[in-house]
Structure 1
Amino acid sequence: MKSIFLVIVFAPLLMWLLAFAIVSASSPKAEHLPICPGSGKKRKNVLLVVAHPDDESMSIWQSDQSLHFNKKKVLTHISRFFAPTLLSLTSLGCYDVRVLCLSNGNAEGLGSVREMEMLSACSFLKIPLENVDIINDPLLQDGHNVAWSRSLISQLINRISTCHNIDMIITFDSYGISGHPNHVAVYQGVCEFLFDNERTSVKQKGSQIEAWKLESVNFIKKYSGPIYVLWSTWRHINTSNSHLFYSGSPRSSIKAMQRHKTQWLWYRRLFVIFSVYTYMNSLHRFPV
């Protein structure tokens, strides 16, 4: 009976450790990514749109449209959720990556500390500081009970996209990984922007912006980490409408999160170690 108990307890742990070793030792070839521009083509301008700081960011757009420098929380979203995508894109050399964070999340009053943390994280993820924008608008404040305006989000995305000739947008899906209403609002704002962009493109005969959303998974998949990565890799075939991004080295995702010392609490350490988003991102194209 005792041996059965030990098997039940330690078998999943051994499976997880084995999967972690396999995933850590394997680094998928970046050149096989289907959404990378072909040789001779111009670099693609990519915009990652997130809800809260703990990412990488540099400039804040206030509602009066004056510019300020602040680098707050953005990297937490990027480190916790989007690190595999960013590490892959920045390593390819054929993408210029920008980040748009729709709130500065200064609720705890640690803005100046997180500025330095964010600078360190941005540098680690190879995203230039001038490529990160954080919005500080009274209508887009961090909170579960704050309703964000989809039209305002769409306008902000349009402004960034126009200024920087954005070719591709990456963001949350309709559930927003954790179900946070701000995440969901980001998805809805991107949808509204894409709808408006499609109408404008048809009228002006311009090119449409393609958009990809990060797949939300259930609790078991989310916290099985490298085990789910191996399963997904085995059964997944990259297509024009879906793609898997790997971090290459899970330690890189973990190190990026470690740059945010004020956020590096014990439960976030567990999240980063066990979360599938540390190891892999599954992106799906927005329907055209």
Structure 2
Amino acid sequence: MLPLIGLFLPLLLVFIPLSFLTLFVESRSGLLLTAETKRTLFGSDRKRRKHSSGKGGSSVGKTALLLIAHPDDECMFFAPTVIELVKSGADVEVLCLSQGNADGLGDVRPTELVKSCKALGILDSSKVSCLDHAELQDDPNAWWKASVIADVLSAHIGDRAIEAIITFDQYGISGHANHRALFDGLRYFQSLPMVPGRAFVANNEDANQPYSSAGRQSRRLSSRGAPVCYALKSISILRKYSGVLDLPYTVLNFLVRKHILPHRRLRASSSRTTLRASTVDAIKEKAAKAGLRTRKPKTSRGPSAPTEAVFVGGPLQAIQGCNAMTCHKSQLVWFRYLYLLFSRYMVINELVEI
């Protein structure tokens, strides 16, 4: 008994201060954001939306779409992000591209997904979609086609005012082929031509022609333009299973990238040539005549911070994420419990703009 106490006492001495650090960060709103990311996910008046999105009131926050490959991805990897967005008044929708039928459990897993999303705070089941697409079946060895993912995503979004899409990065956190394919599919979706008042056009169709009503559905470009896309950052396996112990490194790394590195980059690139205002205006004028939208060009007026976010869940949020995972009863094998105990993704999420 004494040897066990001697083994776990140092861990407790480290874990308890880090837990207080987590509580402090969570009390400071539970996240670290750059200015651009804050406007994208929460808008300019976050406090007003937070108070107006309580029980009985309608949310006026941003609308974010979580794009996942299988039921249980939402709680195993994205729980801190979903919980914080919901708490802050944002509307969160979930699009799962497969029913997770690799083990023949496709009949029960969509129901588990809806229950899990409710545990995370997405109470409206109509905001949770789980597809059964012939070309998007759960298979760790199958690489889903990017064009198919983009087509399905366009059809799902339709006329919805989706302002942010969140998914896996190119490494897929766990390396699962379906996770990694989502990143490629979202990049393909971003490359589709955009025409105001008309749809995203796929398969090299003429962007000047209205989208055929007999063809696939697709999203019309809203007045706010295309959604901003974010990817959940993959990390080394050592950090992945370090849980809350990874928090100090994550916070310090973020602050260094936000406040120190941009100034160094600015000094190093002080002689960089930038577009003249007349050139930018000319580009905008040509795009307007062609009926296309342009993105705001980047300028060198000041140091540019990374467009990313770090979501940190406190102990209560970690428990909420674990409760969501328990809704996936078909997936609760012994190593899942170890994942819940040690995975850093149950308490920390880093999102980077694609």
2:26 is aligned to 27
1:120 is aligned to 115
1:151 is aligned to 147
1:180-221 CA distance string (max 9 Å, x none): 111111100000001115x54698896232111000000111
1:29-53 CA distance string (max 9 Å, x none): 3397524211279532211111112
Mapped to 1, the partners of 2:96 and 2:110 lie a distance apart of 14
By how many angstroms is 1:116 displaced?
4.2
In structure 1, what residue type is equivalent to 2:153? Answer: I
1:48 is aligned to 66
Give 2:73's match in structure 1, choosing from 52, 67, 77: 77
Residue 36 (str. 1) matches residue 47 (str. 2): no
By how many angstroms is 1:92 displaced?
0.7
By how many angstroms is 1:240 displaced?
5.3
1:184–1:235 distance in 2 versus 1, CA, 3 Å? closer
Point out the structure with the larger strand share.
1
By how many angstroms is 1:114 displaced?
3.3
1:209 is aligned to 227
1:277 is aligned to 345
1:226-266 CA distance string (max 9 Å, x none): 01112212332365511101223311111111222221222
In structure 1, what residue type is equivalent to 2:132? Answer: N
By how many angstroms is 1:224 displaced?
0.8
Report 1:59-98 matches (<5 A): 76-93=72-89, 95-98=90-93
Give 1:100's match in structure 2, choosing from 79, 90, 95: 95
Equivalenced residues, count: 260
Mapped to 1, the partners of 2:13 and 2:332 lie a distance apart of 26
Q: Secondary structure at the match of 1:187?
A: helix
1:243 is aligned to 309
In structure 1, what residue type is equivalent to 2:247? Answer: V
Instruction: Work out whether residues 51 and 183 of structure 1, in 8 Å CA contact, stay in contact via their aligned partners in 2.
Output: yes
User: Gaps (5+ residues) in structure 2?
Assistant: 50-59, 201-206, 208-220, 259-304
Q: Secondary structure at the match of 2:26?
A: coil
Q: Secondary structure at the match of 1:213?
A: strand
Instruction: Work out whether residues 20 and 227 of structure 1, in 8 Å CA contact, stay in contact via their aligned partners in 2.
Output: no
2:14 is aligned to 15
Q: TM-score, normalised by structure 2?
A: 0.66
1:88-108 CA distance string (max 9 Å, x none): 000011x21111111111233
Mapped to 2, the partners of 1:111 and 1:29 lie a distance apart of 40
Mapped to 2, the partners of 1:31 and 1:181 lie a distance apart of 31
User: Gaps (5+ residues) in structure 1?
Assistant: 54-75
Q: Secondary structure at the match of 2:78?
A: helix
Moved more, 112-121 or 7-16: 7-16
Moved more, 7-16 or 134-143: 7-16
Moved more, 175-184 or 8-17: 8-17
Moved more, 130-139 or 258-267: 258-267
By how many angstroms is 1:121 displaced?
1.5
Q: TM-score, normalised by structure 1?
A: 0.79
Residue 233 (str. 1) matches residue 251 (str. 2): yes
Q: What is the identity percentage for the equivalent residue pairs of Structure 1 and Structure 2?
A: 31
Give 1:195's match in structure 2, choosing from 191, 211, 214: 191
1:135-161 CA distance string (max 9 Å, x none): 211111111222311101001111222
Moved more, 156-165 or 200-209: 200-209
By how many angstroms is 1:271 displaced?
0.7
